[in-house]
Amino acid sequence: MILKRTVRGMLPYKMRRGRDAFSRLRIYVGVPRELKGMPLEQPDAAKMRTESNNRYIELGALSRRLGANF
DSSP state of 70: -
Is residue 58 within 8 A of residue 68, CB to CB? The reply is: no
What is the pLDDT, as a whole number, of residue 17?
95
* Higher-scoring residue by pLDDT: 35, 11: 11
* Higher-scoring residue by pLDDT: 16, 53: 16
Q: How confident is the model at residue 14 (pLDDT cuts 50, 70, 90)?
A: very high
DSSP states of 8-65 as a string?
Answer: HHHS-TTSHHHHHHHHT----SS--GGGTTSPP---HHHHHHHH---S---HHHHHHH
Tell me: pLDDT of 35 over 80.
yes
